[in-house]
Amino acid sequence: MLDFLALTYPWIKAFHIMSVISWMAALFYLPRLMVHHTEQVGLTGETHNLFAMMEFKLAKVIMQPAMISTWLFGILLILTPGIVDWTMVWPWTKAASVIAMTGFHEWLLARMRGFQKAQNRLTGRQYRMLNEVPTVLMIIIVLSVVVKF
């Protein structure tokens, strides 16, 4: 199995990167949809139903599969011999940030379910501010992997 992972490493890494790009795109866009849903649409009517459907499809058709494949290919990379040196700091900062990103993902799913039920307690400004969470985590992840401090 380990020989197979070493032989397919470039493919696994490529699919991991594509998965991360898709996941990040959804993590950046879903809160922006929620800003407009909150500020422009409200929680009733046809436009509310349209936004709730767009949020649901983004979350379930793009964001969720992208997160799962990111984790899957990431775990395969971890299992590939010689790729991760756990005595260094960078794999730990990356791991903590990926776990935090997954927490943010789950938080967004809960907000999406709230919009589905015509419930929302946050303002557009709060969604805008929280939209910076994946940006900060992405910066930490990329610096961890590239600089390997």
Q: What does each C-alpha distance from 65 to 20, 54, 88, 89, 146 come to in angstroms? A: 11, 16, 30, 29, 25
Residue 90: predicted pLDDT: 97
Residues 38-90 have pLDDT tens digits of: 999 999 999 999 999 999 999 999 999 999 999 999 999 999 999 999 999 99
Residues 99-137 have pLDDT tens digits of: 999 999 999 999 999 999 999 999 999 999 999 999 999
Q: What is the pTM of this model?
A: 0.94
Q: CA-CA distance, 76 to 70, in Å (whole number)? A: 10
**Do 70 and 91 form a contact (C-beta atoms < 8 A)?**
no
